[in-house]
Structure 1
Amino acid sequence: MSSLFSEIQTDILNPKSNITDILRKCLVLAYKINNDVFIKWAELELGGYGNSDVLPDYRIQSTMIKGDFTDGHGRTFQGMIIDKHFVPDFLKDIFCSGKMDYPASYLESLLHYSGDTDPRKDMPMSVLCEFKNLYSGLFCMKAYEILPRTGCYSIIDSIKNKILKFLLEIEKKIENIEDIKLSKEDEKAITQTFTNHIYGNANIANASENFNQNIQLQSDELINNLLSELLQLKEQGKDVDTIDTVIPQIEEMKQIKDQKGIMDKLASVMTIAGGSASVCSLVAQYIPAISKLIG
């Protein structure tokens, strides 16, 4: 009888396999090897992430807010961009953060049933009045967040790739892993290998790090939000050259692990932005939040 390790690997390599079955087998395997970190991750991927759960960086994607408008005389204008600044604060974490916290099965279903269009998540009707002055003479009939198909694909692929790399690495380190009683050293090695492949940080379990797992992910989330808003600004044709220059600088912030380095990079970005009031203003809004997070 084939092992769970080989079954999961075969399923990952089979394009017809669904992500739910793969994750369920992972959950069984996680219990068999008695690894709490693996168990928790598989449960979150199956059931979705809550507000108190740390969201892995591969589940933060660039999203966009759009709306359907009317002039009140029978003409409609669909898919018009709504700047995220106009979204009420109490909804920004839900609709503007790019957090794809849904169960993996839901993301996979969006790809199957949304056709060739990008999936979307409708905003409450009660907030449409917030967009009444966004376009002169137009009234918002519906607003929604666009969840890009590429983002859904990216998350599903990331889950599969991370599981596959983790299993291959563990099999290489510990022979007959399913048939032996693991030592404390083996369990520690599995936990470290798992966090390396799933969360992408070899030192993620080291609590003495200045940037622990939660802070690193929150910092990356803020940076991803800033990048998303800059891209939206660029799509409106504003300060295109400046935005193309600062985006690589902002991307580099994800690799910086100390407060001074982060703040120096932000100052550098502000300097590069120069006379671009819109870019400087957008970046400046993120400085307090990033500074508070890493301070």
Structure 2
Amino acid sequence: MIFSMTDSLLVSIRKGLIEERPLTELLRACIFLGSDTNSDSLQEWAKNELNGYGSIDGIPEYRKLKGPPVFAKIQAGNSIMSNMVLGPHNVPERARKYFPEELHFDQPIQTLIEWSTRQDGINLSPPNLLRVRDLHNDQYAPLNQILNLNVYLDNSYFSGIVDRIRTLMTSMIADLTHATPLDELPSSEKVNATVMKHIENNYETTITQANGAVAIGNSAKAVQKGLSVDDLLKIMQTINPEKFDLGEARAEAEESIQSIADELKKESPNKGFIQNAFEKLKELSIKAGDKAFTTMLNLVGKQIIENIPQLVSGG
């Protein structure tokens, strides 16, 4: 239990964050804090995270995934191939509009925490994928047909969501304890403004990452999405080859990852060099047959490459 008879509610939550208490426990404490400070916005956010989001419109960006990785089991003649990466360009034109562009994760936080511990990852079947399969098979079967389609996500993707929520809470509590006596509660205006700053404004600035909290650094700043060089280097750390089954390709993968990190540290990172390095990594991953590593590369590579042009030097 994080509450203390001698500590204020703010101090108890702050201690709980430092001690890495369970996130569900901390969110419940935020409901109390919202109630004590008359902040409906803090209570609503904490309740939505605990109970799940009832409305798609209310789901924050850190619970959305654009361009989810789709894998297929395909039969071509007498051959059956599993875990084939499938994109819209691989299916008939009339089926492309049913390809999932974005997934929303409205589940209670406890569900996402449990998914983050699943070593075999999570397989999802968005409804429209069945339509993609049927339209493809209608045109190409029996010579070439899709037997199964699913979205596969490594457990580290959900660890990223969980860590992002913990980081947002940490930032809010840090702001609320700044210039406020620790034995007092902040005003409802200050709490609501803090929630607006860290939660509602983050609906458009969330980092799509595979694992781990992103710490804001001082070496650079970024425009539009708010990513610094330190942010991108932190994201790069999530693709540690030691966590995947790459066999003899591990050393080469480590070398490519290090080359990307070194390039990002330069004053003007070469986007083409980084794109080529990620392509090389994907080739190594496919050759090694590690689907989880391929998924990770797709998620991280997209985030890194999209943000390279936005970096500007900082103090």
User: How far apart are residue 109 of structure 1 and its match?
Assistant: 0.7
Structure 2 CA distance for partners of 1:195 and 1:119, relative to 1, 3 Å: same
Q: Which runs of 5+ in 1 are unaligned?
A: 202-212, 225-230, 238-242, 254-295
Asked if 1:145 corresponds to 2:142, the answer is no
Partner of 1:35: 39
Could you tell me whether the CA contact under 8 Å between 1:70 and 1:138 is conserved in 2?
Answer: yes
User: How far apart are residue 126 of structure 1 and its match?
Assistant: 4.1
* Partner Cα separation in structure 2 for residue 51 and residue 28 of structure 1: 23
Partner of 2:125: 122
The count of corresponding residues between Structure 1 and Structure 2 is: 212
Partner of 1:58: 62
1:106-185 matches, cutoff 5 A: 106-112=111-117, 114-115=118-119, 117-124=120-127, 126-127=130-131, 128-132=133-137, 137-176=143-182, 179=184
TM-score, length-scaled by structure 2:
0.54
Q: 2:161 aligns to what SS in structure 1? A: helix
1:155-234 matches, cutoff 5 A: 155-176=161-182, 179=184, 186-200=187-201, 216=204
* Partner Cα separation in structure 2 for residue 122 and residue 141 of structure 1: 13
Structure 2 CA distance for partners of 1:8 and 1:120, relative to 1, 3 Å: farther
User: How far apart are residue 101 of structure 1 and its match?
Assistant: 3.0
Structure 2 CA distance for partners of 1:137 and 1:13, relative to 1, 3 Å: farther
Could you tell me whether the CA contact under 8 Å between 2:74 and 2:144 is conserved in 1?
Answer: yes
Could you tell me whether the CA contact under 8 Å between 2:9 and 2:33 is conserved in 1?
Answer: yes
* Partner Cα separation in structure 2 for residue 58 and residue 158 of structure 1: 7
* Partner Cα separation in structure 2 for residue 251 and residue 47 of structure 1: 38
- Residue 69 (structure 1) aligned to one of 67, 74, 84: 74
User: How big is each residue's C-alpha offset from its partner over 1:118-147, in whole Å with a ceiling of 9 and x where there is no partner?
Assistant: 322124484321333689933222211123
Could you tell me whether the CA contact under 8 Å between 1:48 and 1:102 is conserved in 2?
Answer: yes
Asked if 1:49 corresponds to 2:50, the answer is no
Structure 2 CA distance for partners of 1:5 and 1:189, relative to 1, 3 Å: closer
* Partner Cα separation in structure 1 for residue 22 and residue 111 of structure 2: 11
Q: 2:102 aligns to what SS in structure 1? A: coil
Partner of 1:26: 30
Could you tell me whether the CA contact under 8 Å between 1:122 and 1:143 is conserved in 2?
Answer: yes
Structure 2 CA distance for partners of 1:251 and 1:106, relative to 1, 3 Å: farther
More helix as a share of residues: 1
Asked if 1:10 corresponds to 2:11, the answer is no
User: How far apart are residue 160 of structure 1 and its match?
Assistant: 0.6
Q: Residue type of the partner of 2:123? A: R
Structure 2 CA distance for partners of 1:84 and 1:187, relative to 1, 3 Å: farther
Q: Residue type of the partner of 2:160? A: S
Q: Which runs of 5+ in 2 are unaligned?
A: 209-223, 226-274, 287-300
Q: 1:53 aligns to what SS in structure 2? A: helix
Could you tell me whether the CA contact under 8 Å between 1:65 and 1:84 is conserved in 2?
Answer: no
Could you tell me whether the CA contact under 8 Å between 2:73 and 2:80 is conserved in 1?
Answer: yes
* Partner Cα separation in structure 2 for residue 68 and residue 153 of structure 1: 27
Could you tell me whether the CA contact under 8 Å between 1:84 and 1:96 is conserved in 2?
Answer: no
* Partner Cα separation in structure 2 for residue 54 and residue 250 of structure 1: 29
User: How far apart are residue 67 of structure 1 and its match?
Assistant: 1.6
Could you tell me whether the CA contact under 8 Å between 1:55 and 1:217 is conserved in 2?
Answer: no
TM-score, length-scaled by structure 1:
0.57
Q: 2:146 aligns to what SS in structure 1? A: strand
* Partner Cα separation in structure 1 for residue 8 and residue 141 of structure 2: 60
Q: Residue type of the partner of 1:175? A: P
Identity %: 18
Could you tell me whether the CA contact under 8 Å between 2:17 and 2:26 is conserved in 1?
Answer: yes
CA RMSD of aligned residues (A): 4.0
* Partner Cα separation in structure 2 for residue 56 and residue 49 of structure 1: 9
Could you tell me whether the CA contact under 8 Å between 1:108 and 1:156 is conserved in 2?
Answer: yes
* Partner Cα separation in structure 1 for residue 24 and residue 140 of structure 2: 41
